[in-house]
Structure 1
Amino acid sequence: MIHQYKNNGYDIIMDINSGAVHVVDDILYDAVKVLDENEEFKEIIKGDFTDSYKEKFSDEIKNNLKDKYSHDDLCEAIGEIYNLIDDETLFSKDLYEGIVENLPSMQTVVKALCLHVTHDCNLACKYCFAEEGEYHGERGLMSLEVGKKALDFIIENSGSRKNLEVDFFGGEPLMNWEVVKELVKYGRQREKEANKNFRFTLTTNGMLLNDEVMEFLNKEMSNVVISLDGRKEVNDRMRPRRGGQGSYDVIVPKFQKLAESRNQTDYYIRGTFTRYNLDFSEDVKHFADLGFKQISIEPVVAPKEADYAIREEDVNKILDEYDNLAKEFIKRRKEGKGFNFFHFMIDLDQGPCIYKRMSGCGAGSEYLAVTPWGDLYPCHQFVGNTDFLLGNVDEGIKRTDLVSKFKKCNVYSRSECKDCFAKFYCSGGCAANSFNFTGDINSTYEIGCKMQRKRVECSIMLKADEAFSE
């Protein structure tokens, strides 16, 4: 399986199963396309590609392209293609579908927790899936006792894994700041006793940031996610305070100070774009102009009836916007004003293991969310939906059937993913988004898939541009 596309002047061929990426000239690009459009070739290439077959398809390429390229140039391109096939970096075989059945039987260890230390918030974001922190239930703060049980739970259920991740989440976690500090202290004590290593992170809207909080974050948090949607008018429309006032003027100076205090590393400024700002590349540029170097902006996930929800008719505009952003990314990099954009970060050499690339984030098995009352859910987006209540920190996992169902989610269990070129980059996408839009965690959210495919294409083009620039 391959994927061919042109972007920003580059002819790119991706070999999906091997992970190889080829930046080629027009003649090789067109010759490969002749092969990829031939159904007989695609069947034959699954077996032994003998010399007689090579001769047969060489003739087909030459006949198709003889009016466009010279005979000698075509022969040279065909030779290169067959060398790549022999090297198993073009039209390579799928070696993974046969091992995917091992996933459900692999030992489950909990590696990460999303710790909801608050179900309350001091903002009233209009698109908030957590309903201003309430998660379809009541407001509340996690007690220190429940938080300690959650840390004990992950230690006890992590097997031999040493590195564990805990994200302090909400609502707004700084509304329960004293408990956050005490839990970090408890975690540092327990990690020594249990021979573990906690990597703590925190997600905040910034309203309660101050020097004391920043000092603690810089000492104890491996990463901090700070929420801002972009330009002042964009942010304040969707992220007002409870009284209706905007939040931009309060939080931007604090975020700038925090980013500088962390030497512009180990944080993300994270925005959400909606139907109101489909020109979201302008918001990314605004982040960069404010001095931020670690940037993420995500598409809103909202019910179809919401006026700010992304619709099918918006998709082409969004895809163009990612292309615009990629070009701006190159421009600023060459000017010495570069930044990192989360969705354009791709590792073609040392990416995740194949099991992770097939199965994704591990929600429901390796990654769990904990409510203020100690209830366990597959991830933060399922919190409040009692159909997905897995258990609690006192008694552990009770719904082993649900855990098994989540473990079976992978790029081969989703029919829409099997023939998608991006499957090993998105790992099948978000189970919560699939459920919210289709009612099935083993389905896909098609609008999200289209955006993901474009982001992968842009990411690989940027890698190509960087290599050729060097």
Structure 2
Amino acid sequence: MLHQYKNNGYNIVLDVNSGSVHVVDELMYDAMAVGEKLIGEIEAPVKLDDKIKSQISSSLKSKYSDKEIDEAISDIQELIDAEELYTKDTYELYINDFKKRETVVKALCLHIAHDCNLACKYCFAQEGEYHGRRALMSYDIGKRALDFLVANSGNRKNLEVDFFGGEPLMNWQVVKELVKYGRSLEEPNNKKFRFTITTNGMLLNDEIMEFCNKEMSNVVLSLDGRKEVNDTMRPTRGGKGSYDTIVPKFVKFAKSRGTKDYYIRGTFTRNNLEFSKDVLHFADLGFKQTSMEPVVGEESEAYAIRAEDIPDIMKEYDKLAVEYIKRKKEGRGFNFFHFNIDLTQGPCVAKRLSGCGSGTEYLAVTPWGDLYPCHQFVGKDEFLLGNVFDGLKRKDISNEFKLCNVYAKPKCKDCYARFYCSGGCAANSYSFHGSITDTYDIGCELQKKRIECAIMIKAALAG
């Protein structure tokens, strides 16, 4: 299966099953397209016999000479022999083994605070309440959660814990105590914790920054871009803007991180479809690690992205990609999360097929210790898996998430992007279609565009 497209002057051909990317001239681009139609269901190894060669020649002879066509056919056969073109899908064979695997938990999202000091208009967590009551996680519940993680992580050494909210800094003392407790578990259990935190920055101070720089492997800093954009969607509970309070702190924090990871993470909505300006605003502020996610919301919401907005968003990604390349070449580049793509080896087969591991390897913990497949399922009673005291009680739900993969989703089976997005977000699928094995259609279209841009960027920077 091939995916062919043109972007920023490049003719790009992706062999979906092998992951091989070819940047080619017009002749090869046309010849590969003809070959894709002719080869069809031929079993590997593919050989271009005289009949296929003749059909390729006939299709191309009005544009190219016989010599050019013969050379292209020869080059195509070389790529086929190298298993870089028209390769067959061998991954589906792995699927039946997924459900049989023992559930090994490797990561927890600790909802350290179901409360927030902002009132973001698009917040899926209802200002931190998650369809329930305001609450802060106690040290005892958090301790139980870490014990649960160690006990259910099997032989896996590296474990991940994200302090999440609401706003985690509203429960900062417990965060510090849990990090200390986690460190005490490492040596006796042959484990290593990787702690991360996501914050809106309102309560940031020097002491918190210093602690995070010592203990947090990654920090995610929430900001939506330009002042007018951010303050419209991310006001305080009192209705004031948050930009002027948090940006100086974020600039200082990012500089202090040194070689440790951080991300400025924004959300764009229908109010700022020209979001490339917001990403570049991040870069102009000096942030080197950036992300900008499309909002997910019901169409009835004024800020929600609609199908009719997709063409404009596509243009924004193209515009951003061109400027991204320009700045990289000028030595003032930055990283944009969705333009990072691995074209060499990529993730393991299980990750390529099933994605984030929600409901199996990755779980969310509420302030009172309930377990859910991920933070976006919190508060949906039908997805309550158990709790940190009694463990996973609804293994039937976990088993369904084990099989939530690209071959269980009809829309993914023939999609060229399936091994890069791994089927998309199960929570978004459930929100829009009532099933974890469907897909959020607008999200799919935007993801495919980002993948195309990311591959083009690789080609541009390699040249």
TM-score, length-scaled by structure 1: 0.97
Q: How far apart, in 2, do the equivalents of 1:288 and 1:126 lie? A: 25
The answer for the alignment partner of 2:306 in structure 1 is 311
Are 1:447 and 2:442 an aligned pair?
yes
Structure 2: how far apart are the matches of 1:33 and 1:436? 37
1:49 partnered with 2:46: yes
Query: For the residues of structure 1 that align with 2:44 and 2:172, how far apart are their CA atoms?
Result: 61
The structure 2 residue matched to 1:323, chosen from 293, 318, 326, is 318
Matches of 2:49 and 2:17 in 1, distance apart? 21
Q: Is the 8 A contact 2:217 2:260 kept in 1?
A: no
Q: Conserved in 2, the CA contact under 8 Å of 1:114 and 1:168?
A: yes
Whichever residue aligns with residue 35 of structure 1, its letter is G
Match among 362, 381, 393 for residue 357 of structure 2: 362
Taking the aligned partners of 1:350 and 1:67, their CA distance within structure 2 comes to 39
- Contact kept, 8 Å, 2:213 with 2:260, in 1: the verdict is no
Corresponding residue of 1:387: 382
CA offsets 1:169-208 (integer angstroms, 9 cap, x no match): 0000000000000000000001121110000000000000
Corresponding residue for residue 27 of structure 1: 27
**Are the aligned partners of 1:6 and 1:12 in contact in 2 as well (CA < 8 Å)?**
yes
Q: What does 1:255-334 correspond to in 2, within 5 Å?
A: 255-263=250-258, 265-334=260-329
How big is the shift at 1:67?
1.4
Q: Structure 1: which amino acid aligns with 2:46?
A: F
Structure 2 residue 248 is matched with structure 1 residue 253: yes
* Partner residue of 2:430 out of 429, 435, 452: 435
Q: Distance in 1 between matches of 2:46 and 2:114?
A: 60
RMSD of aligned C-alpha atoms?
0.9
Letter in 2 for 1:7: N
| CA distance in 1: counterparts of 2:454 and 2:169, whole angstroms | 34
Give the equivalent residue in structure 2 for 1:421. Answer: 416
Please give the secondary structure, in 2, of the residue aligned with 1:260: helix
Superposition pairs of residues 333-352 of structure 1, within 5 angstroms: 333-352=328-347
TM-superposition CA deviations, 1:109-139 (whole Å, max 9, x none): 0010000000000000000000000000000
**Matching of residue 12 in structure 1 with residue 30 in structure 2:** no
Say if 2:69 is the partner of 1:71. Answer: no
Q: Contact 1:2/1:16 (CA < 8 Å) preserved in 2?
A: yes
> In the TM superposition, what is the alpha-carbon distance from 1:292 to its structure 2 partner?
0.3
- Equivalent residue runs for 1:201-212 within 5 Å: 201-212=196-207
Q: Aligned-pair distance for 1:308?
A: 0.3
Equivalent runs, 1:214-233 vs 2, <5 Å = 214-233=209-228
When residues 239 and 347 of structure 1 are mapped into structure 2, their CA distance, relative to the original with a 3 A threshold, is same
Shift of 1:37: 2.9
Q: What CA deviation, in whole Å up to 9, does each residue of 1:69-128 have, x standing for no partner? A: 111011000000011112111000111112211111112100100000000000000000
Between the two proteins, what is the percent identity of the paired residues? 67
Any conservation in 2 of the 1:274–1:308 contact (CA below 8 Å)? yes
Query: How far is 1:48 from its partner?
Result: 4.9
Deviations 1:305-341 (A, max 9, x none): 1010000000111111111110010011111110000
**In the alignment, is the contact (CA less than 8 A) between 2:111 and 2:364 conserved in 1?**
yes
Please report the TM-score for the alignment, with normalisation by the length of structure 2.
0.99
2:108 match: secondary structure = strand
**Equivalent position amino acid for 1:194 in 2:** N
> Deviations along 1:262-309, whole A, 9 cap, x unmatched?
127500000000000000000000000000000000000111210100
Q: Which runs of 5+ in 2 are unaligned?
A: none
Give distance in 2, aligned partners of 1:56 and 1:47.
Answer: 17
How much has 1:49 moved relative to structure 2? Answer: 3.2
2:140 to 131, 145, 170: 145
The equivalent of 2:76 in structure 1 is: 81
**In structure 2, C-alpha distance between the alignment counterparts of 1:270 and 1:452, rounded to whole Å:** 17
Contact kept? 1:264, 1:294, Cα under 8 Å: no
Residue 68 of structure 2: SS of its match in structure 1? helix
Distance 1:381 1:132 in 2: 13
Mean Cα deviation higher: 133-142 or 262-271 = 262-271
Whole-angstrom distance in 1 between the partners of 2:49 and 2:8:
32
Secondary structure at 1:99's aligned position in 2? helix
* Cα distance in 2 between the residues matched to 1:106 and 1:19: 26
Query: What SS class does the counterpart of residue 167 from structure 1 fall into?
Result: strand
In structure 2, relative to structure 1, the CA distance for the partners of 1:47 and 1:346 (3 Å cut) is closer
The whole-number CA distance in structure 1 between the counterparts of 2:8 and 2:349 is 30
Aligned counterpart in structure 1 of residue 100 of structure 2, from 105, 108, 111: 105
Amino acid at match of 2:35: L
> Which runs of 5 or more structure 1 residues have no equivalent in the other structure?
none
After superposing on structure 2, the runs of 4+ consecutive aligned residues of structure 1 that deviate more than 4 Å are: none
**C-alpha distance after superposition, 1:9-68 (max 9, x if no partner):** 111111111111111111001001112233xx2022x34534xx5211111111111111
Q: Distance in 2 between matches of 1:380 and 1:247?
A: 24
SS at match of 1:98: helix
Shift of 1:350: 3.3
Which one of 159, 181, 185 corresponds to residue 186 of structure 1? 181
One-letter amino acid matched to 1:207: M
Q: Deviations over 1:233-264 (max 9, x none)?
A: 00000000000000000000000000000127
Query: Helix, strand or coil: the match of 1:303?
Result: coil
Aligned AA (1:5): Y
CA contact (8 A) 2:3 2:15 kept: yes
Whole-angstrom distance in 2 between the partners of 1:91 and 1:48: 9
